[in-house]
Amino acid sequence: MARCDYANARVGGRRARLLGARVGELLTLPTLEARLERLLSSDYAAAARAARDLDAEELKLRAVERALGDVLAREAAELATFVEGATARALFDAVVALDRAEAVKAALRGIARALPAGEVAAFAEAAPGLDEAAREELAAERDLEAAAAWLARRRDPMAAALPAWRAGAAAAGDWLHVEAAIDRATFAAAFSTARAAGRDEDAAIVARALSARVDLTNGATLLKLAGRGAAAELFLDGGALIDVKQFTTLGALAPPALADALATALRPLLGDARAAAAELSVPWRADRLFERALLRLLAREARTRPLSLAVVLAHLAARRAELRRIRVALRGAALGLPAAELVDLVEA
């Protein structure tokens, strides 16, 4: 393990700038303008300023949401410069590649639906290795095969995942297969990097985080299928809690029984099975539950190994979660969602 003293010292200062529970204060403000004004005194001031001169509320929301995506990409790029040592940097890059995969998947959904390039680019948030110029290039591709060729030119491991799934299948709604193929390629590359690092403590930390993320991704897939039967080709290898046999068995369960069984299977990550089952029964609560599980795992790694890469990864995950909460506070309040639901979604 490379000592990450410098990187972790820099993270310490950045951690203090997270809003934490103060995100909830946005919900107490009466207008979008007031919420944006509050953000001007935070790390998210640039995002708030991006919407300042726009008139329509929807345009303001789109502008600030896009700028918030840039915050995460910029933070990841800056943290990468603090990580010392080739092994630690490779491991860090392998983890943040998962964020890039999420952005690419969002763009591909827009391409398959033949949306205008501007809308496709808006679907894909900024991510490490996918800045605004790259998003616009990807958005301009005419179909999934052209997008795969674009990824191949950039030597992105996701490129190998796409040729097997034609644009027609994706347009017909076969997105679970497309996303599973992309996830499989991205996780495989990340696990390969961790294995290549050998008996390195940072590599072990990253491997555990990847394993947990695979289990949670398989859980999310099962919830999307909800009783329709889980095809084995949607299963992702690498998790410690759900194997392919259990995946197919869980996939045959109807929603109420699935929530109970999944909560039991993922208990080491989710905690109390009864409480988790109740959360898994509601889609947006399930997403929040999975997010919290990953945050807890990384925070625990950072506490027990304070000189490791876990500190940097935990902070990046916390920033990602906070950005989601800010988006929910801004967008949800504008849509008039019930206050109780918004508080649940926005609380730290």
Residue 212 in any domain: the answer is yes
The H or E element containing residue 202 is: helix 201-225
Tell me the percentage of the chain whose pLDDT exceeds 90: 43
* Distance from C-alpha of 288 to C-alpha of 300, rounded to nearest angstrom: 18
The string of DSSP codes covering 243-306 is -HHHHHHHHTS-HHHHHHHHHHHTHHHH--HHHHHHHHTSHHHHHHHHHHHHHHHHHHHHHH-T
CATH number at residue 327: 1.10.132
Residues 245 and 150 in one domain: no
Phi (first) and psi of residue 130, to 5 degrees: -140, 70
Residue in the block written with tokens 């929603």:
255
Q: Which residues pair with 252 in a beta bridge?
A: none
Q: Write the pLDDT tens digit of every residue in 118-143.
A: 778 777 777 777 877 888 899 898 88
Q: Are 219 and 290 in contact (CB under 8 A)?
A: yes
Structure tokens at 261: 């069984």
pLDDT score, position 103: 86
pLDDT score, position 171: 46
3-state helix, strand, coil in the chain (%, to 5): 75, 0, 25
Q: Are 94 and 80 in contact (CB under 8 A)?
A: no
pLDDT score, position 117: 83
- Total domains in the fold of the chain: 3
Residue 283 in any domain: the answer is yes
* Distance from C-alpha of 162 to C-alpha of 252, rounded to nearest angstrom: 27
Q: pLDDT confidence of 242, banded at 50, 70, 90?
A: very high
Residues 229 and 136 in one domain: no
* Distance from C-alpha of 294 to C-alpha of 313, rounded to nearest angstrom: 11
Q: pLDDT confidence of 266, banded at 50, 70, 90?
A: very high
Residues 189 and 139 in one domain: yes
Q: Which of 179-193, 199-213, 317-331 has the highest mean pLDDT?
A: 199-213
pLDDT score, position 124: 75
Return the minimum-mean-pLDDT range out of 14-28, 33-47, 59-73, 166-180. Answer: 166-180
pLDDT score, position 157: 78
Q: Is the pLDDT of residue 64 over 80?
A: yes
Residue 256 in any domain: the answer is yes
pLDDT score, position 168: 43
Q: Is the pLDDT of residue 82 over 80?
A: yes
Averaged pLDDT of the chain:
86
Residue 88 in any domain: the answer is no
